[in-house]
Amino acid sequence: MRSGTALAIETTGLVKRFGSNTAVDGVDLAVPTGGVYGVLGPNGAGKTTTIRMLATLLPIDGGSARVLGHDVTKEAETVRGKVSLTGQFASLDEDLTGTENLMLLGRLYGYSRAAARSRCDQLLEAFGLQEAGGRQVKTYSGGMRRRIDIAASIIVTPELIFLDEPTTGLDPRSRNQVWEIVRALVAGGTTVLLTTQYLDEADQLADRIAVIDHGKVIAEGTTGQLKASVGSGALHVRVAEPSRRADAAVTLERTLGVPVSLESDPAALTARIDDPQRVARALATLDDENIAVTTFALGQPSLDEVFLALTGHGAENAETTAATGTFEGTAS
């Protein structure tokens, strides 16, 4: 990995309480410099609170946090000079036009009026917003809003940018645009810390992921590591005749050596497998026994499965519960 490189973010036992509610309950993070670090979790998991503490917006109640080598409490001003935050909700003044917003921020970053104007024009053009520049931000579509939010965050190129759920509520096309922008930021050398509820987003963008639930990091690693932790994959089989499904289940259990579950589709069955090598033999055995198979698929577990396995949210069957047990042994 990137061992040896300076850490962009380092927290130990980070805590934030709101009254009796502990929103962030001892979070340890080690975010390497460069690339995208994903913080994945459901609503209310403590993602936004964590980001707000790291961006010096909220005082921390316990533990410590260093951002780009600076303590967020003692050197808050230095941290603010190096990072940029794009909040979850409108982080611009909705009553002002796009141009006015960027001009205001440009002036606040210390640009002269003329320099702010030219920087503003460059940004509007790069983000495809020249025509919308003169309109009030409240008239923007969701995608335009996210783009101008991000444009506002790079008026002065930050070393680290926090993106809090940047694609929540966007249509697929706008989401792809935001993803492209995130990749461009990384290519330009900025470290991105991104929170998301979407597993495919973390899967697509992030180099490493921390899964947060109830204010705690419940898993951390590369996407590959996280997936591997719930077993190497699953075999989905659909038989031609539903009447032969029970026979197929017996055969598969015998040849694969793992339990097989029956799906609600009367012809489908699924086996969570440890050893993909046995799959070919298992399928051949079905053929030997004259059990016709219409489709079969071998998949890595989706990040969705990983997430459900780790958090237990919505997890109803025994398999995911078992997976939780398996994983906790290896989680930090």
Contacts to another protein by CB under 8 A: 18, 52, 55-59, 77, 80-81, 83-85, 87-96, 100, 104-105, 107-112, 115, 118-119, 122-123, 125-128, 136, 152, 154, 156-157, 173, 176-177, 180-181, 183-185, 187-190
Q: How far is the CB of 154 from another protein (least distance, A)?
A: 6
Task: Using DSSP bridges, classify how beta strands 83-86 and 160-164 pair: parallel, antiparallel or unpaired.
Answer: parallel
In the complex with another protein, which residue's Cβ is closer, 21 or 294? 21
Q: How far apart are CA 27 and CA 64, in angstroms?
A: 10
Find all residues with CB under 8 Å of 57, minimum gap 6, and list them: 85
DSSP string, 93-141: -TTSBHHHHHHHHHHHTT--HHHHHHHHHHHHHHTT-TTTTTSBGGGS-
Establish how many alpha carbons lie within 13 A of residue 228's alpha carbon, considering only the half-sphere containing its beta carbon. 8
Three-state DSSP at 313 gives: coil
Establish how many alpha carbons lie within 13 A of residue 157's alpha carbon, considering only the half-sphere containing its beta carbon. 8
Q: How far is the CB of 204 from another protein (least distance, A)?
A: 14
In the complex with another protein, which residue's Cβ is closer, 140 or 327? 140
Q: How far is the CB of 89 from another protein (least distance, A)?
A: 4
DSSP state of 16: E
Q: How far apart are CA 88 and CA 228, in angstroms?
A: 31
Q: How far apart are CA 149 and CA 136, in angstroms?
A: 13
In the complex with another protein, which residue's Cβ is closer, 101 or 229? 101
In the complex with another protein, which residue's Cβ is closer, 122 or 326? 122
In the complex with another protein, which residue's Cβ is closer, 131 or 288? 131
Find the helix or strand (DSSP H, E) in which 160 lies: strand 160-164
Find all residues with CB under 8 Å of 74, minimum gap 6, and list them: none
Exposed, middle or buried: residue 262 (CB in 10 Å: 0-12, 13-18, 19+)?
Answer: middle
Type of residue found at 135: R
In the complex with another protein, which residue's Cβ is closer, 1 or 187? 187
Contact in structure between 327 and 309 (CB atoms under 8 Å): yes
Closest CA to 251 of 233, 237, 265: 237
Q: How far is the CB of 205 from another protein (least distance, A)?
A: 13
Q: Give me the phi and psi of 242, to 5 degrees please.
A: -55, -30
Q: How far is the CB of 57 from another protein (least distance, A)?
A: 5
The pair of three-digit structure tokens given for residue 66, joined into one six-digit string: 């260093």
In the complex with another protein, which residue's Cβ is closer, 52 or 238? 52
Q: How far is the CB of 228 from another protein (least distance, A)?
A: 31
Q: How far is the CB of 187 from another protein (least distance, A)?
A: 6
In the complex with another protein, which residue's Cβ is closer, 52 or 245? 52
Q: How far is the CB of 200 from another protein (least distance, A)?
A: 17
